[in-house]
Amino acid sequence: MGENRPVTSTNLRIRIDGSAGSAAPYEQLRAQIADRARSGALPAGYKLPTVRGLAEELGLAANTVAKAYRALEADGLIETRGRHGTFVAAAEGSSREAAAAAQAFADRAHRLGLTEAEAVAAAAEAVRARYATPS
């Protein structure tokens, strides 16, 4: 983005700020779509624009939008349905994904021989560290 003025998409109302000190464009895009999906402003099943279409609309590189979409999909907030497109996932998708990750952690901690208290302490410390650090 050569300009420092914000660029806004019309249908998603995504605003990318290119000024110095702003978060990376992919992170701005990821955060705004995530916030809208979690709040219900983008309802489950809402079809998102194609990577190229949104990149063109926002004046971003297609790789920037693709990176944001990959992060959102990894977080369970959106899902790609092949040729049909990319959609906002059902709200319980994030919870389901978190539960699966927690189960994998619990299984691994048990195999490592940690007590329940040690596993809980390790998980709590990891969560505290992650949420204390800016994304």
Write out pLDDT tens, residues 85-97: 999 987 666 666 7
pTM of the model: 0.63
The residue type found at 86 is T
H/E segment holding residue 78: strand 78-80
Residue with the larger pLDDT of the pair 92 and 36: 36
Cα angle at 77 between 73 and 81, to 5 degrees? 55
Six-digit token string for 53: 């279409």
Q: Which of 40, 64, 44, 39 lies closest to 54, judged by CA?
A: 64
Write out pLDDT tens, residues 71-85: 999 998 999 988 889
> Which residues on neighbouring strands pair with residue 98, listed in sequence order?
none
Give dist(CA 17, CA 20) in Å, integer. 9
